[in-house]
Amino acid sequence: MALWLAGMIRGASYYKKTLISITTRSSRAFASSGARDADKGSFRTPYMASATAFISRRFRSSVAGQQLDHFSSHDDEDKGQVRTLDFPGGRVPYTSEMRFLPGSSENRVECYRVLDDDGYPLSSTPFQHIDKEVAVKMYRGMVTLQAMDTVIYEAQRQGRISFYMTSYGEEAVNLGSAAALSSDDIVLPQYREPGVMLWRGFELQEFVNQFFGNKNDIGKGRQMPTHYGSNKHNVITISAPLATQLPQAVGAAYSIKMDKKDACVVTYFGDGCSSEGDFHASLNFAAVMEVPIVYICRNNGWAISTPVTDQFRSDGIVVKGQAYGIPSIRVDGNDALAVYNAVGAARKVAINEQRPVLVEALTYRVGHHSTSDDSTKYRPIDEIEHWKTARNPVSIFRNWVQRRSWWSDKQESDFRAHIRKQVIHAVQVAEKTEKSPVGSIFCDVYENVPPNLMEQEKLLKETIRRYPQDFPKDVPLGN
């Protein structure tokens, strides 16, 4: 659309002589092409005509071209050699056989695992060292998520909060990835990654304050439950529309690149997100702009009620990364160690090579999408039960940790009882805490409160003072 208009407007503008005279090199080439402006082909002509100069001016954007050049052979005529043709973007091998690429390959892309379903290492192949402290912190985080999900889900069912989303079944993706990152890495989450904030030190009480929107909620009671964020923890506030975090992640990564920081951006999304236009825009831009970013897709099988079989016909998400020129890996998302290793390696590539990397974690959403749906209405209970028991990521990891004597049955029961009590306590505290004050309605619309909002705030407070019976009692008026 934009392409077409460029020609169109330019054509119209030449006619009216409102454009300044064109003096750039590429534009001269453009003019000398002699074709009509609105013609799509000639529009790109200047880029082709000055391809060498153009490419040298962009960071290393000729990488794709260079990759293609590997195919090229300088003696095209020789038999047995790959014969190539020069096209914009690089040399391409050619053939007289007509062959379509298949829509999918016979073998699906394999999935990287470290542990089997009982928590035994799959082979003696050494994997990234993980010490006791990290492993136990990961495990505690997974259990804490489960405890928070259980208590808060119940609180929602009792009508104490309006909404909640559990992370059941995806604890390993949450904590495995969080542990592999540095706290300087900027995270743009979707909404099923509270484990990342937990890992970074966001307190249970802070989570629960957010669910209740009280005056201690650092989000000032503005966002629906589970849509938190914390600047201090380098976690950008969650945005509800799907996939908007993906192009934004490229922007944040671009700023990290400009600052030459030893960090990357990590963004999470689900299988459903990959159908949004933003997903495709993001991957393409990230590859072209060569930014340090780790995409973590939680392919959990279900986008609310839409199964992946109705979501796409490709072999998942991992192949899409490759299509955009992004190194990609598929991991077992229920294997915390595999996630930890893959994300750690992806992070290194992203930072050292200044390029995006994609990790597709295959997992399963054991809970409902949110408290607004009942997933047993659209999927078999047996299926849920299977993933809850046989493939439970928390049990798998616990078996491994316990086998290394880093955790015991006693610690397990003590910690579960303790953490449940803590969550319940946090709920009691949050519930008793005053709600956010009236004034917080008006601040932060802009960096500085403009006069019209000050006036609205003043009028609202006056009205509440005059007619207190018409307003809820639990909202403090403030000054």
Partner 1 sequence: MLGILRQKAGGAMGLSSQGLGNHFLSLRPLTPALRNYTSAVKEMTVRDALNSALDEEMAADPNVFVMGEEVGEYQGAYKITKGLLDKYGPERVVDTPITEAGFAGIGVGSAYHGLRPVIEFMTFNFSMQAIDHIINSAAKSNYMSAGQINVPIVFRGPNGPAAGVGAQHSQCYGAWYGSVPGLKVLVPYSSEDARGLLKAAIRDPDPVVFLENELLYGESFPVSAEALDSSFCLPIGKAKIEREGKDITITAFSKMVGYALKAAEILEKEGINAEVINLRSIRPLDRATINASVRKTNRLVTVEEGFPQHGIGAEICASVVEDSFGYLDAPVERIAGADVPTPYAANLERMAFPQIEDIVRAAKRACYRSAPMAATAS
Paired residues of 464 in beta bridges:
none
**Following DSSP, what letter does each residue of 177-193 receive, concatenated?**
HHHHS-TTSEEE--SS-
Which window, 4-12, 95-103, 352-360, 421-429, contacts partner 1 (CB under 8 A)? Answer: 4-12
Interface positions, 204-223, toward partner 1 (CB under 8 A): 217-220, 222-223
Interface positions, 428-467, toward partner 1 (CB under 8 A): 440, 443-448, 450, 452
Burial class (CB in 10 A: 0-12, 13-18, 19+), 389: exposed
Interface positions, 47-106, toward partner 1 (CB under 8 A): 47, 54, 57-59
Which window, 33-41, 105-113, 119-127, 240-248, contacts partner 1 (CB under 8 A)? Answer: 240-248
- Tell me the closest approach of the beta carbon of residue 292 to partner 1, in angstroms: 12
Question: Mapping DSSP to helix (H, G, I), strand (E, B) and coil, where does residue 410 land?
Answer: helix
User: Widest CA span of the chain, in angstroms?
Assistant: 94
Q: Which is nearer to partner 1, 105 or 255 (CB)?
A: 255
Q: Which two tokens stand for residue 88?
A: 């914009």
> How far, in Å, CA of 374 to CA of 469, rounded?
38
Question: Mapping DSSP to helix (H, G, I), strand (E, B) and coil, where does residue 19 land?
Answer: coil
> How far, in Å, CA of 162 to CA of 155, rounded?
9
Element (H, E) at 6: helix 2-16
Q: Does 360 bind partner 1 (CB under 8 A)?
A: no
Q: Which is nearer to partner 1, 167 or 282 (CB)?
A: 282
Q: Which is nearer to partner 1, 221 or 333 (CB)?
A: 221
Q: Which is nearer to partner 1, 166 or 245 (CB)?
A: 245
Characterise 235 by phi-psi region: left (phi > 0), alpha (psi -120 to 50), beta (else): beta
Paired residues of 91 in beta bridges:
86
Interface positions, 253-272, toward partner 1 (CB under 8 A): 253-256, 258
Choosing from 72, 239, 399, 433, the residue that interacts with partner 1 (CB under 8 A) is 239
Q: Which is nearer to partner 1, 3 or 323 (CB)?
A: 3
> How does 277-306 read in b/e, with b if 16+ C-beta sit within 10 Å?
ebbbebbbbbbbbbbbbbbbbbbbbbbeee
Q: Does 45 bind partner 1 (CB under 8 A)?
A: no
- Tell me the closest approach of the beta carbon of residue 295 to partner 1, in angstroms: 13
Paired residues of 279 in beta bridges:
none
Choosing from 177, 209, 230, 375, the residue that interacts with partner 1 (CB under 8 A) is 230
Choosing from 152, 236, 297, 308, the residue that interacts with partner 1 (CB under 8 A) is 236
Asked if 47 and 29 touch (Cβ cutoff 8 Å), the reply is no
The DSSP bridge pattern shows strands 302-303 and 306-307 to be antiparallel
Which window, 11-19, 124-132, 146-154, 364-372, contacts partner 1 (CB under 8 A)? Answer: 11-19
# residues contacting partner 1 (CB under 8 A): 73
* Interaction mask 282-321, partner 1, x per CB under 8 A: x-xx--xx--------------------------------
- Tell me the closest approach of the beta carbon of residue 183 to partner 1, in angstroms: 15
Element (H, E) at 267: strand 265-270
Q: Which two tokens stand for residue 75?
A: 């003696």
Q: Does 417 bind partner 1 (CB under 8 A)?
A: no
Q: Does 187 bind partner 1 (CB under 8 A)?
A: no
